[in-house]
Structure 1
Amino acid sequence: MGAPTSPRPPAALPWLPAALRPAGLALTVAGGALGFAALARGFRPRLLDVKVFALHARYFESKSFQVIEKNVTLEMAALLLFGGLFFMAFARDRVETEETERVRLWALAWATCLGAALLLVATLTLFGLGFAYALGAHAVVTLALASALAAASRARTALARRRGATP
């Protein structure tokens, strides 16, 4: 038998390319602006009046497993927002180090914990359609927190290095 080998460090997670972070920011801003325009200003372009398959839709009457005609402006805004936040949360940094990986995983863990806590509160306090809205908000909060916590931790580390201290 040979000499025992030291355990290999875990393989890095398959993060997205760094070039997607600016694209993620652009998608997030576009989704937020479109969502604001749709909700606050009633913006509903006719171009987005399309037929879609609905597992369940309840407007004036309930419809299940049918094709319905719907304006998908809010859905487009949500997809842009989710996609942008996902790109920002999971894109690599231009220079990857073990510290970067550790910070990103720390931020993702905390975002998941805080998101789960908010979902627990929503489960106990929101009912009906309000709970469905909370599920959508949960995804946004978790992705936004992962991005924000990782960015804040990277900024703190960079500032500490500039000052000559270790974070």
Structure 2
Amino acid sequence: MAQDSGLYRPLPLLPYRFRYAGYILILLSFGSAYLYFFGGRPSFFEVPVFAIATSYAETRWFVISQTNLLDELSVAFVIVALLFIAFSREQTESIELDKLRGRALLYSAYATAIIWVFLYVSIFGWPMIVVSATIFLLFLVTYILAFQLLRRNLTTTTSNKNQMQGMH
């Protein structure tokens, strides 16, 4: 094992406090989505932006386009939030948690691929573009859930072993 040969290096995770920043960004994401869909899209967020491609009345490439940034902010906030939550350290890190992170990463890759293939063969046309755009979010959410379930299982298993040792 890498640990035994002295080659083990902990994963380059974000500091633990980034998790809290992630939760705040999720709230900001909900707030900007609410303003976009139900809040009348305040004109303060109408700004010119550089667009590689824009397709409203006509498709244009490499132009400055006027847009309301609220929907883009909402998506950007939720992506960064999930990254912060998924890849921030636990308060106490260990080699076991690094192994669990690897397993959770594989499980989420498998689950996301299976779901994406199923959706790809059952959704046709433009809606598939929307589905494909959300796949990375699905991957992050399944990673977070898989890691938390594996971590909870490790904690329960360790607790049960300690209780059994205390009885002997």
TM-score after normalising by structure 1: 0.83
* Helix, strand or coil at the partner of 2:13: coil
Structure 1 residue runs without a partner (length 5+):
1-5
In structure 2, the residue matched to 1:113 is 110
CA offsets per residue over residues 78-116 of structure 1, 9 Å max, x none? Answer: 010000000011111111111111111111111111112
* Helix, strand or coil at the partner of 1:125: coil
Superposed CA RMSD in Å reads 2.2
In structure 1, the residue matched to 2:42 is 45
**Which of 21, 24, 47 is equivalent to 1:23?**
21
The yes-or-no answer on 1:125 pairing with 2:128 is no
Equivalent pairs, count: 160
2:120–2:128 CA contact under 8 A, matched in 1: yes
In structure 1, the residue matched to 2:70 is 73
Question: How far apart, CA to CA, are the structure 1 residues paired with 2:124 and 2:69?
Answer: 25
**Residue 144 (structure 1) shift:** 1.0
Structure 2 residue runs without a partner (length 5+):
none
* Helix, strand or coil at the partner of 1:107: helix
* Helix, strand or coil at the partner of 2:121: helix
Question: How far apart, CA to CA, are the structure 2 residues paired with 1:129 and 1:54?
Answer: 20
In structure 1, the residue matched to 2:80 is 83
Q: Which amino acid aligns with 1:119?
A: W
TM alignment of 1:6-21, pairs within 5 A? 7-21=5-19
